[in-house]
Amino acid sequence: MKEWLKISCLLCICGFVHEIRPSEPYVTEYLLSSRPNITQDELSRKVYPVATYSYLATLVLMFIVTDFLRYKPLIIMMGACGTTVFAMLIWTTSLPALQIIEFLYGLYMASEVAYYTYIYAKVDKEYYPKVSAHTRAAMFLGKLVAGFSAQLLVNLKLMDYKSLNYITFSTQIFGTLWAFVLPKVDRSLYFHRKNYFDSIEPAAGVNSSSTELQDAKSISSQNGENIIPLAPFKLLWSHFYNAYSNLKVVQWSMWYAISLCGYLQILTYIQVLWIEIEPNKEIAWNGAVDAILTLLAALMALAAGYIHAGRLKPLQSLLVLSTFAAMEGGAVLLCCWTSNIYVSYAAYILYGALYAFSITVASAEVARYLEEESFGLVFGVNTFIALAFQTLLTIIVVSNSGLSLDTRGQYTVYAFYYIAASGIYFISVAVEYFINRRTTNRTNLAE
């Protein structure tokens, strides 16, 4: 087996196992049934928001530390966080313990950046598209297995909600142990590379005159690695400046952040909404819904990649996404306004499929204007912006210091959030179209 394929397989097993978390589709039902002292309102306002705040607070740190420690230690830490989270879910019951769990879960999600970026430090660039597909597919497959197995075990009454946590706990332990067999990374993008300064463009707004560069290059360690502490941050700034000085990157990055923010918020509280719609349902189909959505999302992502590649111009892509955003808003409205739980399930699946298509197109459009080495940084920054939006939305809509809306009210706000975003981008499409048309007409007249 070729070395790059061997490394990809090892990482894919790690990602696949970590995603087998059959307890997650039923975590709200489990918490409310196993902790009589915790109310649904407390879960929404005092517990779940902690993960959002933690994810936001730790994401930038995780990105830098991941590069500094060269990926593998952070993948191990991710597994340790997951193991601790599900151990505490099984063996603790208090409100403060739940808040600690949510903090660790936010850290768990933030440290996933190590999983996604490890492979790029271990294989040659020519294999990037293949290994990207492998790692994503492994995680999709893990989610699919988790959803279907959870539903099957619950329906057949082979396990209750608490027992599902033991499976998740076991997979997190296995994933953590498996991470130890991953090959060590010798180089990283920013803190451990052969030469920083050849990667820094003087035009990037960085103070990098030829004299400074020559002096800096002359100061190196015996093994050839640069030891100037500012060098990695100069390269970070260079990548950041070069990316976000492009208005197209800014435009598509904002779309990416807006869409991801809404998705994370809807995903966080959807189980609470379903309990409010049908509090006494005999069987919760959450696992099946998650599995169907995962499968459909994977197909929609593939369709988006096929349709987008060379077939849609940027303005057409923006028009498609604006239309989809309006449809996503409509799906969320149906999801929260209906009194039929199965209609809500179907609307949520529709929303998730539309989101998968939209985020794939937005990602491709952002990547279109980037240098390869800045992909991780830009998508990390875009995720950070999305989390900042989500935190603001949580404070305004969910928290007691804000509007403190009930669950249906919250989802109504999220629906109109998408509809408003759609309207704003429709206007930008129209403005850009007329500007382009006017420019074309002037060019034709000049000729």
Domains of the chain: 1-188 (1.20.1250.20), 234-447 (1.20.1250.20)
* pLDDT tens per residue across span 95-130: 999 999 999 999 999 999 898 888 888 888 788 778
Section 176-200 average pLDDT: 80
Minimal CA–CA distance to 18: which of 136, 168, 147? 168
Encoded tokens for 182: 């991953």
> Which run of H or of E encompasses 48?
helix 48-69
Lowest mean pLDDT among 226-240, 263-277, 348-362: 226-240
pLDDT of residue 205: 44
* pLDDT tens per residue across span 366-388: 888 887 778 888 999 999 999 99
pTM listed for this prediction: 0.90
* pLDDT tens per residue across span 38-47: 999 999 999 9
* Beta bridge partners of residue 220, listed in sequence order: 226
* pLDDT tens per residue across span 79-99: 999 999 999 999 999 999 999
% of the chain at pLDDT higher than 90: 64
* pLDDT tens per residue across span 320-333: 889 999 999 999 99
CA angle 353-114-171, nearest 5°? 70
Burial string for 52-85 (b: 16+ CB within 10 Å, else e) reads bbbbbebbeebbbbbbebbbbbbbbbbbbbbbbb
144, 295 Cβ separation under 8 angstroms: yes
DSSP assignment of 241-270 equals HHHHTSHHHHHHHHHHHHHHHHHHHHHHHH
Minimal CA–CA distance to 333: which of 423, 408, 425, 420? 408
